[in-house]
Amino acid sequence: MTTDSPRKLAALSIFLRIYGILTLIIFSLLFVGFIVQTPLLAEHGGVLNWTIWNDVRFGNEHAHVPPMLLLIYVVWGVFLLRAASNPSAYSSFLAFTMWANLAHGLLMAAQVFTDVDRYWSKFLTDIPFVLILSLGIYLWRPRTKADELARS
Q: When comparing pLDDT for 68 and 43, which is higher?
A: 68
pLDDT category of residue 19 using cuts at 50, 70 and 90: very high
In this model, does residue 82 exceed pLDDT 90?
Answer: yes
Query: Looking at residue 120, what is its pLDDT?
Result: 77
Helix (H, G, I), strand (E, B) or coil at 2: strand
| pLDDT at residue 76 tops 60 | yes
Q: Does residue 32 or residue 4 have the better pLDDT?
A: 32
Per-residue pLDDT, 118: 72
Q: What's the confidence (pLDDT) of residue 20?
A: 98
Q: Which residues contact 27 (CB under 8 A, 6 or more apart)?
A: 70, 71, 73, 74, 77
Task: Answer with the residue of higher pLDDT: 21 or 67.
Answer: 21
Long-range CB contacts (within 8 A, 24+) of 4-12: 4/88, 4/142, 4/143, 8/140, 9/87, 9/88, 9/140, 9/142, 11/140, 12/84, 12/87, 12/136, 12/137, 12/140, 12/141, 12/142
* pLDDT above 90: residue 62: no
- 63 band by pLDDT with thresholds 50, 70 and 90: low
* 36 vs 112: which has the higher pLDDT: 112
Question: What whole-number percentage of the chain has pLDDT above 90?
Answer: 46
* pLDDT value at 32 more than 80: yes
Q: State residue 52 phi and psi, 5-degree precision.
A: -100, 145
Q: In the chain, which ranges are continuous DSSP H helix?
A: 6-35, 39-42, 47-50, 65-85, 91-112, 116-119, 126-140, 145-151
